[in-house]
Each structure stands twice: as C-alpha cells, then as structure tokens.
Amino acid sequence: MNKPRFYNRLSIRQKIISIILAITIISTIVGFTIELFSNIRASRVELYNNTTLDAKLIADYLIPTFLFDDKPGAKDILKKLVNMPTIIYGAAYKTDGSLYAEYISSGTVDSSKSMPEFLQSNENKNALLIKEPVRSKDEVLGSVLLIASTEIIHEKTKDHIKIILVILANSILVSLFLALWLERIISKPILKLATVTRKIQNTLDYSVRVTKESHDETGVLYDGFNDMLQSIQASKKKRDLAQKKLQEERENLEIRVLERTKELNAAKEKAEESDKLKSSFLANMSHEIRTPLNAILGFSALIRDPAITAGELEEYCKMMETSGNDLINLIDDILDISRIEANQIKINFEEISVATLAEEVFSTFKQSFYSDNPNNNVTPILTAPTEKAVYVLYTDPHRLKQILLNILNNAKKFTFEGSIEFCYFANEAKTQLIFSIKDTGIGIAKDQQEKIYDRFTKVADIKTKHYRGTGLGLSIALKLTQLLNGVISLESELNVGSEFYLTFPLTKVLSSLPVTPHILRDESLAFLSGKLILIVEDVEYNYRYLEIVLSKNQDVRLLWAKNGNEAVDLCLNNKDINIVLMDIQLPEMNGLEATQLIKSKNKDLPVIAVTAYAASSDIQEALNAGCDDIIIKPINRNELLVKMAEFI
C-alpha cells in the first residue's frame, strides 16, 4: 500500500491555508521578479541612453578643443563629467587613437591602475562603454569614450529586492490572516460534516441530520448526506425489524423444537406404552373370548349326554347363559370404545327420575349378583335419600345405567366379603346429584388410581388371583360420564375398599313422582293363542330358536320367510298376519326395504326389527324405515315376549 503523502496527512484546514499561502507566495514572487527584471532592464536602457547623450554632448563640447588643439580645455570639459555620478571614466581620443584627454571619477577607480587595467578588472566588467565620434561638420576629429558604472543599477536592484521581501513578508502575513479567516467558510461545513459522521460512527444513531446553512456545493453535499442518512436509517430500521423477526423466529423455533421433541418423546412413550398395551390387550382378549367360549362349547357337549340329571342340565345351561352374556358384554365394550374413539356415540337426553333409574340398576345388579354367585359373603345395599323429594336428571338413561352397572360389576368382581353399597343423594344446594358405589374389596393403591381410566389397563395384583376383564370398562365409564356432563372420582385404599362417585348436574327436584317406571315383566305366552306370526330370518338356527320360544303356545301359527321378497309376498297373501319379526340383514331384499313395502301396503301391521346392529344410528334407521320397535340380538326371551305382547 502506498504511504500517504505528506499533504494527505494534513487536515483540510491546513491544506486550505497552505494552498492560499503557496498561491500568495508564488504569485508575489513571480510578479515581483518580473517587475524586478523589467526595472533592471529599464535602468540599463536609461543608463545607456543617458550615457550616450552625455557622450554626444561631451563630443559636441570637445569640437573647439580639437579644432584649436586645446588639451587643457578638453580636460576641463571632461571634468564636467564629475556631475554625472554614473560616469566613472571619460576619455577623448584623436583619430589616430591616441589619448587626447581623460577623466577618471575619484574614488571609483583605483588611480594606481592604468585605464586598460581598470577596464580589465572584475569590478567593472559590467561597466557600460559608450563611444561617440567628435565631428565637425562631416569631418571626424576624434572620439569620446564614456564608461558608466552599472553599480547604481545593482544598488537599486538590491533596494528593490529588499522592498520586495518586505512586501512579500507583509503579503504572506496578510494572506495568512485572510486564509485563516476564509478557510473557515470552506472548512467549517466540511468539518461539521466530519464531526457528525464521527458521532454517527460512535453512536450508530442514524436519526441525526446536518442543518444546511448555505446553498452552494456544501449545501448540496449536506442534502446528499441527509438523504443518505435517511435511506441508511430506513434500511437499518428494516434490517433491525428483520433481525428482530429473525430472533423471534429463532426463539420460536427453539421453543417449537423443544415442544416437538417433548411431543415426540411423549408420542414415542405412548407408542411404546400402547404397543405394550396392545400385546397385553391381545393376550387378555384371547383369554376373555376363549374363557366363555370354552364354557359354552364344553357345556353344550355335556348336555348331549343322555345320563344327565335335570339339576345338572339346569346348572350347565346357567353356565352357558352366563358365558354368553360375558361374551356379549365384551363385544359391547369393544364396540363402545370404538364408537367413543370415532366420536360416534349418540347420546339421547331425556328427563328421568333418579329413584326409578337407581332401582332398575340395583335390581338388575342384584339379579346377576346372586345368579353369578349364590353363596356370596357380600351384601349389596341400595341406600336412597330419606326425604320424599323426587330428583330429576336430564340424561341418557341407557348410558347412565351402563356406567353404574359397570362400576357395580367392578365392585362385585373385586369384593369378596363385606358389602357393596349403592346410594344417591343431592348436594346441599340441590344443584348436583351424586351416585356413590362403595365396596369393601381389594382397593386400589394411590399411585395406580390415575391409571385405571386408561384403556386396557388393569391394576389389580394378578399374582394372587386372576381377575377377568379387558381394562375397558372404566375408560368407557369415564368418557360416557363426561358426555353426560358428569364427573367421575374415586377414593380408595388398598385392602380396605373403594368408593366411586359420579356427580351430575341436577335438573329439578319434584315433590311427587310423575314418572312411571318401566319394569320388565315376565309375560305368559297366552297372548299368542290363535295369532299368525311371520318370522323373516335367513339363518335357520335363529329361526329355530324363535320357533321353539313361540311354539310353547301350541295355538300359535308361524310363517317363515327367508328373504325380503318372500316376506313381502307372504304379507300380501296373508292378510291375517298379526305381527312380523323382521331380520334386517337379508339376501335379495334387506329387512328395511321389505318393511317399507309391507308398511306401504298395511301400515297397521306391527313390525319388530330383530337385528345384530346395535348402534343408535342403526336403530334410528330401522325406526325410519317403519319398524315399530327393535330387539337386539342375541334375543332375550323375556324382552321378546314383552315387546310382542305390547303390539299384538
């Protein structure tokens, strides 16, 4: 890199002053030098002219002296040269060149020297020699030589130079003063700009602006500088914003990455957990399905034995029935959990009497409780509030019963002595209705109590005893409770017992009971006498079952259609059919289409759908097609007869 030159290191102020001074000095010197030389030249010309004139005059004066050969006179005339201070030597020569008379200025010329010596000496080498002829008319009488000293010119020149130097010194001083004053006009705005630039450099504050004071080039520079600052400020603002955004994005990204990592870890743990659960679920499911199937198949083989006693037959059938019910419950649980997961559970809210519902639930529970284990050491207790008031809930009774029976059945499963107490009561403000199911069973350890609501989770110690179940019941109960706007909670102590609470918003409290309980009654078959019943069923053993149940009344008449078309034809050809039991899934024409056709011809003919489709949407579809009621397979004999009796 080139080293900065000397003037590059100077400040602008110093540069301006130096330039002004240099210009002043150079122009003064040049000017005065020219003037000096022209002066010298003029002096020389003047000296020449004067000396020539003097020589001419002297030549004129010398004419008589030559004519009359008056040497002393000639000398006197030459002496007059004393009045000419510049003439240092004068001489008159004859035509033959001999000296006629001479004059030597005193003190100027060393008298010891002869004229030729003098002329050759250094002191007078600049002397001016003027020679003029002495003429009388046209005759040359001789000549005059005048030597003028140029010393006077030198003296004058020296004086001149001194004056020039004084003037030069003065003009330097004046121009220095002027430069100092004038440079501010130029350097001040530039220095101001430099100060502002330095300030911006230190503070990085681009909002600073320089105030324009003149409209010359510095004014333009200021405008340009301000414009530049403005655009820098704008782009800095943009950059700051972008940086801020970038920073925020980075932070957000970090947070998001952390969250995602957490989520991924959680998902991984969940996946591992569900993998474990899946394996245990499959093992469990296999067990839960095979156990009742084993009983059903095993006992169905045993009942074929001709030597079997009536007591044994009753016992085996009972076991087959219980196992079949277990299987149904298992399938219901699996279907329910699938519907819950798919958000397809339909809740049908209606106002119900809590007392009626509690009695129905307790009666169902007690029935299964004693039939499952007649020699039980556990006492089921129903405790209703002592007050007369009737509590009304706005709920889905079917789902509420399912939840309560689930928790009661758990209590039955995990309690071996003591009691299972089912009670309900309202809170003091009568805003909430609480069901409580308290048992004196094995209890649940505190750290396990959260887990029991997870799908497929069983927490009971299986080392001592294997408890049947899929780990789905409480998961379904929790979801259904939430769908019914309720809350489920638990208090439990290991080896002491558990108490589940279900809390629902209480709709109203009535003073008397307006709701008529709907209790299943075991109907006799008398109502079937002389009736013609059309059974629409494609599977033979399903038809056979219905035939056996209904033929207990020997006066009943049955018709069998194996598909929808046959059913429609039979209905058209037999006007005395009293009721139709219609399977939904049929070959050729399905049960819904057949029902629609039958109803379009005879809308008063009761049709009861008998279907394995248990979803509420299926039920609704059947009702929409014109079915008067629905019985879900597997058919409960009691339910079938009650429903048929209702329509015949």
Binding site for ligand ADP (CB under 6 A): 410-411, 414, 439, 441-444, 452, 457-460, 469-475, 498
Nearer to ligand ADP, 164 or 483 (CB): 483
**Which two three-digit tokens encode residue 248?**
């925020």
Nearer to ligand ADP, 89 or 369 (CB): 369
Sheet strands side by side (includes 432-439) = 378-383, 418-426, 432-439, 497-505, 487-493
Which among 150, 193, 180 is positioned nearest to 44, based on CA atoms? 150
Q: How far is the CB of 464 from ligand ADP (least distance, A)?
A: 13
Q: How far is the CB of 525 from ligand ADP (least distance, A)?
A: 37
**Which two three-digit tokens encode residue 18?**
């130096």
Nearer to ligand ADP, 161 or 459 (CB): 459
Q: How far is the CB of 441 from ligand ADP (least distance, A)?
A: 5
Q: How far is the CB of 498 from ligand ADP (least distance, A)?
A: 4
Who's near 107: CB < 8 A, 6+ residues apart? none
Nearer to ligand ADP, 229 or 327 (CB): 327
Q: How far is the CB of 406 from ligand ADP (least distance, A)?
A: 6
Residue 211 and residue 204: Cα distance in Å, rounded? 19
Residue 103 and residue 409: Cα distance in Å, rounded? 169
Q: How many CB atoms lie within 10 A of CB 118?
A: 20
Q: How far is the CB of 443 from ligand ADP (least distance, A)?
A: 6
In sequence order, the β-bridge partners of residue 394 are: 351
Q: How far is the CB of 587 from ligand ADP (least distance, A)?
A: 38
R_g (Cα) of the chain, nearest Å: 70
Helices (H), 485-634: 540-550, 564-573, 591-601, 616-625
* DSSP state at residue 249: H
Nearer to ligand ADP, 295 or 582 (CB): 295
Q: How far is the CB of 452 from ligand ADP (least distance, A)?
A: 4
Sign of the alpha-carbon torsion through 248, 254, 259, 264 = positive
Nearer to ligand ADP, 189 or 497 (CB): 497
Burial of 315 (0-12, 13-18, 19+ CB in 10 A): middle
Under 8 Å between Cβ of 387 and 513: no
Nearer to ligand ADP, 397 or 469 (CB): 469
Residue 167 and residue 296: Cα distance in Å, rounded? 141
Nearer to ligand ADP, 358 or 408 (CB): 408
CA quadruple 119, 120, 126, 128: dihedral, nearest 10: 30
Q: How far is the CB of 478 from ligand ADP (least distance, A)?
A: 9
- For residue 634, whether the previous peptide bond is cis, meaning omega lies within 30 degrees of 0, is yes
Name the phi and psi angles at 382, rounded to 5: -110, 120
Determine the distance from the C-alpha atom of residue 466 to the mean position of all C-alpha atoms in its chain, rounded to a whole number: 53
Q: How far is the CB of 489 from ligand ADP (least distance, A)?
A: 13
Residue with tokens 């007059």: 80
Nearer to ligand ADP, 218 or 410 (CB): 410
Q: Which pairing describes strands 378-383 and 418-426: parallel, antiparallel, or unpaired?
A: parallel
Q: How far is the CB of 404 from ligand ADP (least distance, A)?
A: 13
Nearer to ligand ADP, 54 or 326 (CB): 326
Residue 250 and residue 258: Cα distance in Å, rounded? 12
* DSSP state at residue 168: H
Under 8 Å between Cβ of 105 and 87: yes
Sign of the alpha-carbon torsion through 272, 274, 280, 286 = negative
CA angle at 408 for the pair 406 and 410, rounded to the nearest 5°: 70
Which among 351, 584, 312 is positioned nearest to 304, based on CA atoms? 312
Nearer to ligand ADP, 304 or 466 (CB): 466
Under 8 Å between Cβ of 205 and 57: no
Q: How far is the CB of 364 from ligand ADP (least distance, A)?
A: 17
Question: Distances in Å between the alpha carbon of 37 and those of 30, 40, 67, 161?
Answer: 11, 5, 44, 11
Q: How far is the CB of 362 from ligand ADP (least distance, A)?
A: 16
Q: How far is the CB of 252 from ligand ADP (least distance, A)?
A: 41
| 3-state SS string for 337-369 | HHHHHCCCCCCCCEEEEHHHHHHHHHHHHHHHH
Nearer to ligand ADP, 425 or 453 (CB): 453
Residue nearest to ligand ADP (CB): 469
Nearer to ligand ADP, 333 or 583 (CB): 333
Nearer to ligand ADP, 444 or 644 (CB): 444
Residue with tokens 């003149």: 214
Nearer to ligand ADP, 380 or 469 (CB): 469
Nearer to ligand ADP, 5 or 466 (CB): 466
Under 8 Å between Cβ of 532 and 479: no
Q: How many CB atoms lie within 10 A of CB 378?
A: 18
Q: At what angle do helices 540-550 and 637-647 cross, to 10 degrees?
A: 70
Sheet strands side by side (includes 557-561) = 557-561, 532-536, 579-583, 607-611, 629-632
Q: How far is the CB of 374 from ligand ADP (least distance, A)?
A: 21
Q: How far is the CB of 344 from ligand ADP (least distance, A)?
A: 21
